[in-house]
Amino acid sequence: MKTKLIFGATVDVKESPGNITINYTFPGFYLVDDDHEMAGKKVEFKQLHIKSTGFLSASGKPQLPSFGRYVQIPPNSEYRVTVKKGQPVEFDGVMVSPAQARISDNPNQKHEFEYDKEFYGKDAPYPEDVVKVTGPHLVHERHVLLVHVTPLQYNPAKKKVVGFSNITVSLELKEMKAAAAGAVSDSPSDDDAFGNLLLNPGQRIAQKMGFTIPRLPIRAVGPELLIIYAKVFEKAVQRLAAWKNHRGLITETVCIDAIGNSVAQLKTYIRGRRGVLFSRLRYVLLFGDGDMIVTQTDLNNGKPLNCMYGVSYRSDMKTATDFYYSTQFDQDTPDPAHPNQVLFYPWLSIGRIPVRPDAQGPPPSGDSQAQSVVDQIISYEKTPPADQDFYERMTFAAYFQGSNHTDTRGYLTTIEGIRASMESLGYSTERVYVTNDTSNQLYYRDGSPIPAAVISAMVNNSTATQMLVAATTEGQLFFGHRDHGAWDGWVCPPFTNSNLDQVTGDMPSVFYSINCETAGFDYNEPTECFAEKNLRMKGTAPSLIGATRDSGTYMNNDLIRAIFDATFGGVIPTFPGGNASYRVKNSRLGDVLNYAKSYLPVVNAGDEAGVKDEWEIYHVIGDPTLELWTALPRAIAMTAKIVQRSLDIRLPTCPRGTVITLWSGDKMLKRMEPASTHITVSLTGVTPIPLPRPPFPKPYVEVCLWAPGCRFTGVRIGLVQDRLVAIPAAA
């Protein structure tokens, strides 16, 4: 294993009216030996790497480092791109490794080496253009272009690499007529985490460009969370909705019978609710299994049958996906402005609770599975564990699968990188690693040596399974897994449905199950996948992330890095600067997955089909609004009392995102997002409060407080101390 010239990219961005100029500097690259046997002969391929970049990864073609990031532009822009390259430097005699983009995490896949023989005989530079710009795209309410820079061109026939140490990209922006653009916002998102993926994440981009953006008074309407449910689960759904509203997330429910249970009807309904001007809707939860609320199954998964000199795609592998319920457009209803679009970015976050009615008894006795899942979600958010140790421990599981003593699949490389990031943040992590190379594990996928401590952590499959059962019983803040998967669980290290039956604890654990098929909720036989069983069991996952079908190995490695980056920050580099990184606002699980999906086009140039597959198959199994704990929740000692005809509320602190709701029974009286620690609410007009029947409990107002990273707090305040009266509607 040889490495040399280990350097990363530096980026400088300048914004001026009508122009964004980006200067890229690439000081060098390094080589990693990647020998393969073809037609009985050894071919000495070389992997090319530049630190902190992704790759141009078209299957079977030379894999080249490619630096991708989004660039924010005003919503009503036309653009023109100009490129200036520095002096080229040439390297001869390099046989660049072909991209193995179709390797999947299916343990039964017989992957053959992807090598496009015809392409490797071409006497032409690849790629033809070192800069590719696509878009505009809408990424979490920001209008962006995706800019990919590939500083190394390759001539396959001559085995020549041509490198450019400096490349300057200028984006000349022109304002369209406002009516044509239909835009009314200027970078409205206040989620700093999605700025990690941008080269220019600041606000007011239109103002910087000298554009005019029409300003309309914002009057937010509708719910933030919409729960669409099968009728049998109405009782459990209303209980979940009541909790979400009490904690300040405006939630509405609708039965699937009122919408119509077809893919087209669901898309039309959800998009109609999201598309209303100033709609609050950002989350949709489908409550019911795949046959109770229909999932889309008419799309090909695109997983290939590989051959030595090309790739042929299967036509019989159908995807199960809810993804296009979360998009504004899709293949069936494309964006008129972009009719050839392949990737449809998520417009909102979606999740599914794929439960079924009990085998015995009519409703409501038939919804115990649903009630169990709701119990876990409410318990996780409302009464999280009080044990400090729980918030410090994580478990990471991975498989060393390789050849020539190298982690060629990158499972171990990926997980160790994430685990090291978590350790640097102060978390205590446990390794659960197994290997297919019992003789010697020497190198990570990028050619760097594997430390002795990692090698010594390798155990056999039986021991690994016992460790995973024990860790789940104990409860982990997070599990991260990279390896093969199947409908009933992880393959290496083995952890399946039958092992879940051995879990005896009741502490929660959030699973990032990044592999194949473990979230295949639509499968008929067997009827329960790993994610479904995990979701409904007490003491496992209140919600989790997984794939419904076969998923790409290298895409998965990128996806889990971005998932942990969204949850904690600091796992993937940001530019310019390369170090500032933010977590997803409020740490909601659906936004975490959308962030990770948005990262995939950044690091995987040339493989839109692979990104599309990954977007379609990965799901939140559970609640997309679940707010993930990353530390011991803080307590806010709220006090409230009646002062004359007003409610006086005092807080020791008021974190960003605090929400206070006032309730009379199950009726919300008021919802507030306070900006100070002292809140006064007039009670005039709050009543009439219905007079109760004997024994006449005193009327009260319930005050509920929710803040990110804090425990839910609720207090009840009696309105009258000595007798039952209603406060008049007018003073």
Residue 551: CB atoms within 10 A of its CB come to 26
Q: What is the CATH number of domain 384-621?
A: 3.40.50.1460
Q: Which of 191-195, 232-236, 470-474 has the lowest mean pLDDT?
A: 191-195
Closest CA relative to residue 39, chosen from 110, 122, 115: 115
Share of the chain above pLDDT 90, in %: 71
CA distance 67 to 171: 17
* Residue 184: band (very low, low, confident or very high) from pLDDT cuts 50, 70, 90: very low
Residue 198: CB atoms within 10 A of its CB come to 21
CA distance 199 to 580: 12
Q: Which residue has the tokens 């696509």?
A: 134
CA distance 360 to 287: 20
* Residue 727: band (very low, low, confident or very high) from pLDDT cuts 50, 70, 90: very low
What angle separates helix 589-603 from helix 608-617, to the nearest 10 degrees? 170
CA distance 535 to 519: 10
State the average pLDDT over residues 199-208: 89
CA distance 562 to 565: 5
Which one is the CATH code of 639-718: 3.30.1490, 1.10.10, 2.30.30, 2.60.40? 2.60.40
> What does the pLDDT look like over 613-653, one tens digit per residue?
999 999 999 999 999 999 999 999 999 988 888 899 999 99
> What does the pLDDT look like over 668-716, one tens digit per residue?
999 999 999 999 998 776 654 444 444 445 577 899 999 999 999 999 8
What pLDDT is attached to residue 180? Answer: 40
Contacts of 444 (CB under 8 A, 6+ apart): 406, 407, 410, 412, 413, 416, 450
Contacts of 227 (CB under 8 A, 6+ apart): 237, 240, 241, 251, 252, 253, 254, 284, 285, 287
What pLDDT is attached to residue 468? Answer: 98
What ranges do the domains of the chain cover? 10-209, 384-621, 639-718
DSSP state of 112: P
> What does the pLDDT look like over 33-92, one tens digit per residue?
898 988 889 999 999 999 889 999 999 999 999 999 999 999 889 999 999 999 999 999
What pLDDT is attached to residue 439? Answer: 65
The model scores a pTM over 0.85:
yes
* Residue 265: band (very low, low, confident or very high) from pLDDT cuts 50, 70, 90: very high
> What does the pLDDT look like over 269-315, one tens digit per residue?
999 999 998 899 999 999 999 999 999 998 876 554 333 333 333 33
* Residue 188: band (very low, low, confident or very high) from pLDDT cuts 50, 70, 90: low
* Residue 730: band (very low, low, confident or very high) from pLDDT cuts 50, 70, 90: very low
179 has a pLDDT exceeding 90: no
Share of the chain above pLDDT 70, in %: 88
State the average pLDDT over residues 572-594: 87
Q: Do domains 384-621 and 639-718 have the same CATH topology?
A: no
Q: Which residue has the tokens 């669901």?
A: 266
What tokens appear for 3 in the block? 């490495």
What pLDDT is attached to residue 525? Answer: 56
* Residue 111: band (very low, low, confident or very high) from pLDDT cuts 50, 70, 90: confident
Please write down the long-range contacts of 489-492, taking CB distance under 8 Å and 24 or more positions apart: 489/518, 489/530, 490/397, 490/515, 490/518, 490/530, 491/107, 491/399, 491/515, 492/107, 492/399, 492/401, 492/434, 492/436, 492/461
What pLDDT is attached to residue 190? Answer: 72
Q: What is the CATH number of domain 10-209?
A: 2.60.40.3800
Stronger pLDDT, 642 or 392, i.e. the higher one: 392
What pLDDT is attached to residue 174? Answer: 93
Q: Which residue has the tokens 């019978």?
A: 257
Q: 572: number of CA atoms within 13 Å, CB side?
A: 30
366 has a pLDDT exceeding 70: no
Stronger pLDDT, 487 or 722, i.e. the higher one: 487
Closest CA relative to residue 130, chosen from 161, 108, 174, 92: 161
* Residue 261: band (very low, low, confident or very high) from pLDDT cuts 50, 70, 90: very high
* Residue 6: band (very low, low, confident or very high) from pLDDT cuts 50, 70, 90: very low
The helix (run of H) or strand (run of E) holding residue 272 is helix 263-274
What pLDDT is attached to residue 338? Answer: 84
Q: Report angle CA 442, 450, 410 to the nearest 5 degrees.
A: 85
CA dihedral sign of residues 97, 98, 99, 100: negative
Contacts of 509 (CB under 8 A, 6+ apart): 471, 472, 475, 476, 477, 478, 479, 539, 540, 541
Q: 53: number of CA atoms within 13 Å, CB side?
A: 33
What pLDDT is attached to residue 697? Answer: 52
Closest CA relative to residue 35, chosen from 17, 47, 50, 20: 47
Q: Which of 147-151, 519-523, 572-576, 607-611 has the lowest mean pLDDT?
A: 572-576
CA distance 630 to 623: 17
Stronger pLDDT, 72 or 111, i.e. the higher one: 72
CA distance 572 to 587: 17
Residue 17: CB atoms within 10 A of its CB come to 10
What pLDDT is attached to residue 166? Answer: 96
